[in-house]
Amino acid sequence: MSRIVMGIETSCDETGVGIVEIADGQAPRLLADEVASSVEQHARFGGVVPEVASRAHLEAMEPMVRRACATAGMALGELDAIAVTAGPGLAGALLVGVAAAKAYSAALDVPLYGVNHLAGHVAVDTLEHGPLPRPCLSLLVSGGHTQLLRVDDVASGITELGSTVDDAAGEAYDKVARVLGLPYPGGPPIDKAARDGDPDAIAFPRGMTGPSDAAFDFSFSGLKTAVARWVEAAERRGETIPVGDVCASFQEAVADVLTAKAVSAALRTGVDTLVISGGVAANSRLAALARQRCAEAGVELRVPRPRLCTDNGAMIAALGAHVVAAGGKPSGLDFSPDPALPV
Ligand code: KG4
Ligand code: ZN
């Protein structure tokens, strides 16, 4: 028997609606993945403005649902279940998605599942590479999160091995971009500028790698400050900032720490599959270094395509499909999102 699940994602600045089909014993099949982003409306503020994001979700929701159904070649009435991001994320943004999901669930008389955004970033890999090995490790790197997770079951068995103690990796990218006068979000322009730079030009610090630091925690605040100080000092001396070298050296420091800790976690826990996801997983240097270090350590690396790494509805649909297939309990129509929902 096959079932069709729609996923709705509104935790930050992307309104995502995805549709997947699951058949017994098979990985979910992606039928539609529509995303509207309000990122341009936030660009001049250098970060997401919650109120602006909420309004944008409200405007984009119904058109995205309609477009997803058209892409999947189906009517709304053919849906068997609806999954929605219950958290973590921006409170007002989450509320728009949850309210919409409740309305569709009630109108169509199909069950509603509130699911975890972070678990969605892991579950999305099943759309590209099939069922996840159990257990596997996940390095989740986005604008809001930097976590190393052990995944025994993507819906009900995720344990945090470590996380950032300050800034998320993507946040560091966005802040460094601002220092260099590059546009928001900072990941893509830094990635591009780094191609012309020397990763060894400047020795930026590797946070949380000292002998007394927690093995699987991260810190990017000191790195961000070091880049800002370096740029300020060069400006004071009246020098032209070597943007390519700064970007390449910063990017190298981030990729070095992320991959070293993830591979070390794999070796220490004996779990030999690593999934890297979240917006920063789209980073070219992170992918290359992860490939190299995983190959050396005998760890299988899975990285979903960039489109699936950033926030989208397909990841929520994929996770919802997993919950439906596992016979999970639907959420009541009275459930509320939790902006601080733990993994
Ligand atoms: O997962 P995501 O779309 O949204 C959150 O849940 O945060 O991640 C967005 C983050 C931003 O901080 C952005 O700068 C970063 O991902 N990012 C990148 C790249 N593309 C996006 N960071 C490094 N390199 C990239 N190519
Ligand atoms: Zn995300």
Minimal-distance CA residue to ligand 1 atom 3: 310
The verdict on the CB of residue 89 being under 6 Å from ligand 1 is: no
Per-residue confidence (pLDDT) for residue 1, from 0 to 100: 81
Question: Residues 162, 79: one domain?
Answer: no
- Contact indicator for 312, 91 with CB cutoff of 8 Å: no
Give me ligand 2 centre to Cα 206, in Å. 24
Q: Which domain holds residue 99?
A: 2-124+312-325
The two tokens of residue 122 are 């892991």
- Could you tell me if residue 340 is inside a domain? no
Q: Is 168 exposed, middle or buried (0-12, 13-18, 19+ CB in 10 A)?
A: buried
In a domain, 335, yes or no: no
Whether 217 and 281 map to the same domain: the answer is: yes
Q: Could you tell which of 14, 164, 178, 280 is best to mutate to test the pocket of ligand 1, judged by most ligand atoms within 8 Å of the CB?
A: 280
d(CA 318, CA 134): 17
Q: Are residues 200 and 301 in the same domain?
A: yes
**Which pLDDT score, from 0 to 100, does residue 46 have?**
76
Q: Is 189 in the pocket of ligand 1 (CB under 6 A)?
A: no
88 domain-assigned: yes
Assess whether 95 and 43 both reside in one domain.
yes
Count CB-CB contacts under 10 A for residue 134.
Answer: 12
CA atoms within 13 A of residue 189's CA, in its CB half-sphere: 15
Q: How far is CA 114 from CA 22, 190, 204, in A?
A: 18, 35, 41
Q: Which of 121, 115, 234 has its CA nearest to residue 170? A: 121
- The complex's ipTM? 0.98
Domain membership of residue 59 (yes or no) is yes
The two structure tokens encoding residue 222: 């000191």
Whether ligand 1 lies within 6 angstroms of the CB of 120 is answered as no
Calculate how far, in angstroms, residue 309's C-alpha sits from the geometric centre of ligand 1: 9
CA angle 157, 160, 164 (to 5 degrees): 150
Determine the pLDDT at residue 277.
93
If asked whether residues 202 and 118 sit together in one domain, one would say no
Token look-up 């005998």 returns 298
Q: How many folded domains does the chain comprise?
A: 2
Structure confidence at residue 128 (pLDDT): 95
Query: Tokens 């972070």 identify what position?
Result: 118
Q: Where do the H-state alpha helices sit in 270-298?
A: 284-297
Tens-digit pLDDT profile for the chain (343 aa)?
Answer: 899 999 999 999 999 999 999 998 777 899 999 999 988 888 888 778 899 999 999 999 999 999 999 999 999 999 999 999 999 999 999 999 999 999 999 999 999 999 999 999 999 999 999 999 999 999 999 988 899 999 999 998 999 999 999 999 999 999 999 999 999 899 999 999 999 999 999 999 999 998 878 899 999 999 999 999 999 999 999 999 999 999 999 999 999 999 999 999 999 999 999 999 999 999 999 999 999 999 999 999 999 999 999 999 999 999 999 999 999 999 999 999 999 999 8
The 10 Å Cβ neighbour count of residue 17 is 32
Whether a cis peptide bond, with omega within 30° of 0, leads into 342 is no
311 annotated as belonging to a binding site for a ligand: yes
CATH, residue 237: 3.30.420.40
187 a known binding residue? Answer: yes
Beta-carbon contacts of residue 47 (< 8 Å; ≥ 6 apart): 174, 184
| Ligand 1 binding pocket mutation candidate from 38, 310, 312, 315 (most atoms within 8 A of CB) | 310
Kindly state whether residues 186 and 274 are assigned to the same domain.
Answer: yes
Pair 101, 173 in one domain = no
Residue 264: inside a domain? yes
> Does the beta carbon of 48 sit less than 6 angstroms from any atom of ligand 1?
no
Q: Is residue 164 part of a domain?
A: yes
Q: What is the pLDDT of residue 275?
A: 98
CB 122 within 8 A of CB 151: yes
| Token digits of residue 142 | 């986005």
